[in-house]
Amino acid sequence: MAQANRIARLILQGFQRHYRIFGELTDDAGQRFQQGDWLGLQHLSRERISYYDERVAECVEELTAQLPSGSPDSELWQQVKQDYTGLLSFHPQAELAETFFNSVFCKLFHRRYFHNQFIFVETTIEGRIPVPVEAEYRSYFPVEHGVPETLLQIIQDIGFAAPFADLKDDVERLRRAFSEQTRQHNLQAHQLRLDVLKHPFYRNKAAYVIGRIVTTERSYPFIVPVLRGNDGHLLVDALLTDPQHLGVIFSFARAYFMVRAQAPSALVCFLQSLLPRKSKADLYSAIGLHKQGKTEFYRELLLHLQRSDDQMVAAPGIRGLVMMVFTLPSFPYVFKVIRDRFGSTKEFGRDTVVERYQLVKRHDRVGRMADTIEYSDVALPLNRISADLLAELESSIGESMKIEGDTLIIRHLYIEKRLTPLNIYLEYADEEETRAILDDYGRALKDMLAANIFPGDMLLKNFGVTRGRRVVFYDYDEVQYLTSMNFRAMPKAKDQQDLLMDSESVSVGPHDVFPQQLATYVFAKPKLRAIFTELHPDLLEAEYWQSLQSSIRQGEVADIFPYPSQLRFSRYKSDE
């Protein structure tokens, strides 16, 4: 059928236009890194997120002009899908092209046609990838030229345009760090192989070289951060081999990497060998292919629903005034829906909430703000919704849901990793754990502020604790840019009458914030308040917040390292 083949090719052309632009943006990220253009790199990262939808819209517009409106022609579209599948047999981005097809079809037709007869609910490349994993990495054999020369060759092959300040010195530190961080203290050149991904991963102010060291006993995943000095020269900053450190680098609370990949499925397969606890959805999102991450996550959810029988319930913790949150106990995520009506203290509406979640999506999350997966018209089996939850949903989000037969349809939904709410964590923490987590809560605030994010509502219930005991923010309905706020010191009393006045007597504008009140506002328990005040007294001073605003307005981009400072090679240089 000629028309079917023409439609299939048109959609594939739309995808290939998208991926070509995606690759060009990634190449531009590399150039901006070499130039130290950090604000430009942030701009690229933000803008890239919306480009996918723009390419889908272009393709939909082109097809709309050629197709009759209404229901899809069943025979035609089954043939379109069959022809499209044939075109993907050896396509290096086949899985991404399937997702693009789904996006186009779902924009053209009603939700009732969203099944495997017409779209790729199930992938056609399961169990295979069109390009072998080896296409995405190079292998090096130190037995040929020795370890130092091999490490030099690896860095040279990555293709950084800017020169290194002292690459031989950096290589020696890499060799020494590997010996310190592994049991292989006396490993000889003939006893190992190095597999290294061909292209660096760019994010914020760093480039990351990623690979693995293979020995006869085991393999060691590694990440090597490369930084750019103020003089324009590059330097190797650390060697990371601890799986926990690698997991933090690829955390769901960080901005997406910018990395060139000819065969993303092969790249993700390699990354999974290094980070086995990360799902495909996690890794596709981490490398900037967040639409593919959505597709993979939805497949994970469908598979989990097939293999489990528990029911969805309201998420534990204090109910939010803006979001209704529920969860499936056996599945490590929460589902968030904007309530029909907010509490009286929330002086904004649905559109503002959507905008603020988009702000965080497009912003540098600095490892402190959970990524959200956003869906429309989500179908959930009604028999997996507990009776109590269904009643609460009907009363809180009734305008955003409807029941069709045995299915609950939710119009607009956010999904996040399920974390232990910080207020609940503190109820069971011992003294040492309490002190450590309150310190990290303060550090989380400082990281967000340095990235020009003012969280708004800083109550403990709006923060969660990860498996690695890191504090992450996840409630974005009051998020604003730090530079939009007005930080003020509390007025000092001039006389006895001033002393008798309460804080409500102070004239306050809509964007005024008094950091001095932070500890009192957040911590009801005096003991917690005292610990926090001891650990982070600067957060209680308006001058601290104002100084960060000043730096941001001057175009400064803060250094926020996603790995421990004690692993940085600069610690050696400071001692020499």
Q: Which residues are catalytic?
A: 371
State both tokens at 48: 């890239």
Answer for the pair 400, 338: CB distance below 8 angstroms, yes or no: yes
CA-to-CA separations, 21 to 14, 15, 18, 145, 493, in angstroms, rounded: 11, 10, 5, 39, 60
Of the candidates 146, 135, 256, the one whose C-alpha atom is nearest the C-alpha of residue 192 is 146
State both tokens at 99: 């997702």
**365 labeled part of a ligand binding site:** no
Cα–Cα distance between 119 and 122 in angstroms, integer? 8
**162 labeled part of a ligand binding site:** no
**67 labeled part of a ligand binding site:** no
State both tokens at 142: 């130190």
Q: In terms of residues, how long is the chain?
A: 576
**318 labeled part of a ligand binding site:** yes
Residue 443 half-sphere exposure toward CB, CA atoms < 13 A: 15
> By three-state DSSP, how is residue 107 classified?
helix
**421 labeled part of a ligand binding site:** no
Write down the residue that tokens 């295979």 correspond to: 128
Buried b (16+ CB within 10 A) or exposed e, 335-354: bbbbbeebeeebeeebeebe
**527 labeled part of a ligand binding site:** no
- Phi, psi of 32, rounded to the nearest 5 degrees: -70, -35
State both tokens at 411: 């119009």
**488 labeled part of a ligand binding site:** no
Cα–Cα distance between 95 and 115 in angstroms, integer? 17
Buried b (16+ CB within 10 A) or exposed e, 267-296: bbbbbbebbeebbbbbbbbbbbbbbbbbbb
**319 labeled part of a ligand binding site:** yes
Of the candidates 393, 424, 380, the one whose C-alpha atom is nearest the C-alpha of residue 314 is 393
Answer for the pair 178, 184: CB distance below 8 angstroms, yes or no: yes
Pick out the residues of the known binding site.
315-321, 336
Q: Point out the annotated binding site for ATP.
A: 315-321, 336
